Structure 1
Amino acid sequence: MDSDAQLLSLAVEVAREAGELARTRRDQGVAIAATKSGLADIVTEADREVEQLIRDRIAAARPDDGFLGEESAAKEGSSGLTWVVDPIDGTVNYAYGIPAYAVSIAVVEGPPDPAVWTAVAGVVDNPATGELFRASRGEGAYLDSRRLAILGEPDASGALIATGLSYDPERRIEQFEVLRSVLPLARDIRRMGAASLDLAFVAAGRLDAYYEWGLWPWDMAAGSLLVSEAGGVVGGLAGARASRDLLIAASPEFFGSLEAALTR
């Protein structure tokens, strides 16, 4: 079986090519292809084109691996490895020209389910800034040549905490109520609109913590590995693994405080 380093190298190569295609299509102007759960949750033609490029490159290099992407049908492989892909995370930002979107590619062992898989390599590429975050199992997380390390316990001014909001208006109201319990811990709140970048920024020490409900496997796969390899904790409530129910990412020192605020 190929090493984690070889898998990461392929993920980096494909993410860079996919990111350049996404950036080029953004510069040319994007077209709205469909809606998902509502008008705010859009899909662009570029999403589909970028995912197809990623899928084709991986299939050519590793035909026995599985594939789970946001925009196309899942494929079960025979190698025990699955590529979990979000071709353009932050589609709304992308459509509006906000430079906070990413290509997210992870390789996992086991079923394509965050509750049971083991991530072995992950890449989050922001084509608008040229930043590419990468990690492999047991080898740390990096931005270019810089090894990443999360922040520790926030100081007395509080934590910089990121979150996301549902596209369902009723669910969004509930999330604002929960936010009231989080605010006493916070220096400020950020809502960037791209889960993979939120997780990468926790890994890089640009955020103290991030939490969100309703994430899909492709939203969290690569970014979660970045956080854990940078020394952080990624999980749900009461010892559960991160899932669509909830993802929390923070330092070991701050994780429990945020978890307690989210259950009040």
Structure 2
Amino acid sequence: MTNFDTQHLLDIARSSAQRAGQLAAEMRADGISVESTKSNRLDIVTQADTAVESLIRKGLAVARPDDGFLGEEGDPSDGTSGITWVVDPIDGTVNYLYGSPYYAVSIAATILEPDGRRRTLAGCVFAPELDAEYTATTDQPALLNGRELYVDDQVTLDNALVATGFPYDHGRRDRVLAAMSGLAPKIRDFRLNGAASLEICAVADGRLNAVFLWDLPIWDYAAAALIATRAGARVQGGRDSPRTPLLLAAHPLLADTITPHLKEIS
């Protein structure tokens, strides 16, 4: 396999995310509206989603013209370098639309493994209105604004703060509700924050102990999963997993404890 300069890739991801986050914040300050919907009326696209993705895509094409691109809003493109950038221009679009600061730009440099899964080499999740920049590479630690992160390794199930979210498909929400109902008496509490990348990163920095999310697109977790993993979490499943579309991020011991309770939605 070709050796890639992960620091170079991370530098590009960081600078791209900073520019994109600035544009997203400026557009929201100026006022934004829903541009279209995707799978249903809940799965919205704002004017900012498309503008921010376009900005990222153009910048990456200048910096690394031979790379591929996979974004949430536009058509994918193949490259010749072996690197594909997986981008969510605004993760937490509903939060963004409603004025919550809990949204982020997610950018990951990935390669395709022989089994068809994507492996992230470098990733950045940037929340402009929280002034939070999460980063990691395969050979560097997870950082939050330059501070190294470590997943909380002393949490038992009864003391766990767990996050989840509902899929846009109403027909699949009963599975999540069933899992929440089963887990609720066994854990400390639930959180539903509405931005998957930030919730996975929160496991890395100890603000959450676990997160499980159903049928999550890869652009929502490509960068964050690497960040959580480099902080010591286990991230298992996801839409590109051959085993289950249910993604779980937690310390390995806590993940082993929670997993049996999630079988009904896997």
Shorter-chain TM range is over 0.9
Residue aligning to 2:206:
205
Q: Is the Cα–Cα contact under 8 Å of residues 161 and 208 in structure 1 kept in the other structure?
A: yes
Q: Which amino acid aligns with 2:255?
A: F
Deviation at 1:168, TM superposition (A): 2.1
Q: How does 1:110-259 map to 2 (within 5 A)?
A: 110=112, 116-155=117-156, 157-236=158-237, 241=241, 245-259=245-259
Deviations 1:106-145 (A, max 9, x none): 001116x996222100000001111110001121100112
Count residues with an aligned counterpart: 261
Report SS of the residue matched to 2:173.
Answer: helix
Is the CA contact 2:157–2:258 (under 8 Å) kept in the aligned structure 1? no
Q: Contact conserved, 1:124 with 1:197, CA < 8 A, in 2?
A: yes
Distance 1:15 1:243, change over 3 A: farther
Query: What SS is found at the alignment partner of 2:140?
Result: coil
Displacement of 1:236 in angstroms is 2.6
Query: How far apart are the structure 2 equivalents of 1:75 and 1:37?
Result: 22
TM-score scaled to structure 1, two decimals?
Answer: 0.94
| One of 8, 11, 30 as aligned partner of 1:9 | 11
- Does the 8 Å contact 1:99/1:128 carry over to 2? yes
Q: How far apart are 1:2 and its partner, in Å? A: 4.7
Residue 133 of structure 2 aligns to a residue in which SS?
A: strand
Whole-angstrom distance in 2 between the partners of 1:256 and 1:226 = 20
**Which has the larger displacement, 173-182 or 56-65?**
173-182
Contact kept? 2:156, 2:254, Cα under 8 Å? no
Contact 1:64 1:79 in 2 (8 A): yes
The answer for the alignment partner of 2:46 in structure 1 is 44
CA distance in 2, matches of 1:244, 1:252: 17
The answer to whether the 8 Å contact 1:215/1:244 transfers is: no
Instruction: Indicate if the aligned counterparts of 1:115 and 1:243 stay in contact, CA closer than 8 A.
Output: no
Partners of 2:215 and 2:88 in 1: CA distance: 15
SS in structure 2 of the partner of residue 63 of structure 1: coil
Match of 1:102 in 2: 104
The structural deviation recorded for 1:241 is 4.2
Q: SS of the residue aligned with 2:87?
A: strand
Is 2:89 the partner of 1:87? yes
Partners of 2:186 and 2:58 in 1: CA distance: 45
Paired position in structure 1 for 2:63: 61
Secondary structure class of the residue paired with 1:73: coil
CA shift in 2, pair 1:88/1:49, >3 Å: same
Unmatched tracts of structure 1, length 5 or more: none
Q: Which runs of 4+ in 1 moved over 6 A?
A: none
TM-score, with length taken from structure 2:
0.93
Partner deviation per Cα, 1:171-192 (whole Å, 9 max, x = no partner)? 1122101211222332110111
SS at 1:83 equivalent: strand
Shift of residue 155, structure 1, vs aligned partner: 4.2
RMSD: 2.0
> Aligned letter for 2:259?
E
> What's the secondary structure of 1:85's corresponding residue?
strand
User: 1: distance between equivalents of 2:104 and 2:181?
Assistant: 29
Separation in 1, partners of 2:139, 2:256: 24
For residue 40 of structure 1, give the secondary structure of its aligned residue in structure 2. coil
- The equivalent position to 1:21 in structure 2, one of 9, 23, 29, is 23
Confirm or deny: 8 A CA contact 1:213 1:246 kept in the other structure. yes
Q: Is the 8 A contact 1:65 1:77 kept in 2?
A: yes
Ranges in structure 2 where 5+ consecutive residues have no aligned partner:
none
**Structure 1 residues 90 and 203 mapped into 2: Cα distance closer, same or farther (>3 Å)?**
same
